[in-house]
Amino acid sequence: MNYEERKLSSLLPHMHLRGKDFEFKAIYPTGESEILLQVPQYDFVWQLICCPAGENVMPKGRKIQAIAHFDNWANNKANPDLTKAVRFREQNREEMIVDFFDVAVEAGVTERSLMQPPKKTTGD
């Protein structure tokens, strides 16, 4: 792994009781995309950290996109109260979507260097 690469080491989707589905997708600088994790039937009780198989190296310019949906209908038995507006809150009866992911970098790479915007190359 060189300085410009970061290895994706884990993904963790998080929603509350109305969570329906969740997907992490990699978007490459070429415009191509790849599904990293797909949770078609999200369950609040089942929150696990998912570790991608193999060496999942993130090349420079790759973005991670999280896509999730909520189910606020009456047929969702986990829905605490479908008559109330859903707001972003930390309580389970309210709702949130948070996408956590971890990356590993080479020893010696500083936090400051990771936070720098990518340098533009000529021709962009």
In-domain check, residue 42: yes
Whole-prediction pTM value?
A: 0.74
Q: What six digits make up the tokens of 98?
A: 């948070």
107 sits in the region (left: phi over 0; alpha: psi -120 to 50; else beta) called: beta
In-domain check, residue 63: yes
Q: Give the separation between CA 52 and CA 109, rounded to whole angstroms.
A: 22
In-domain check, residue 123: no
Per residue in 5-37, pLDDT tens?
Answer: 678 888 999 998 889 999 999 998 899 999 998
pLDDT of 122 = 63
In-domain check, residue 85: yes
Per residue in 44-73, pLDDT tens?
Answer: 888 788 888 777 777 778 889 999 998 888
Per the structure, the count of domains in the chain is 1
Domain containing 14 equals: 6-107
In-domain check, residue 115: no
Whether 124 has a pLDDT exceeding 70, the answer reads: no
In-domain check, residue 116: no
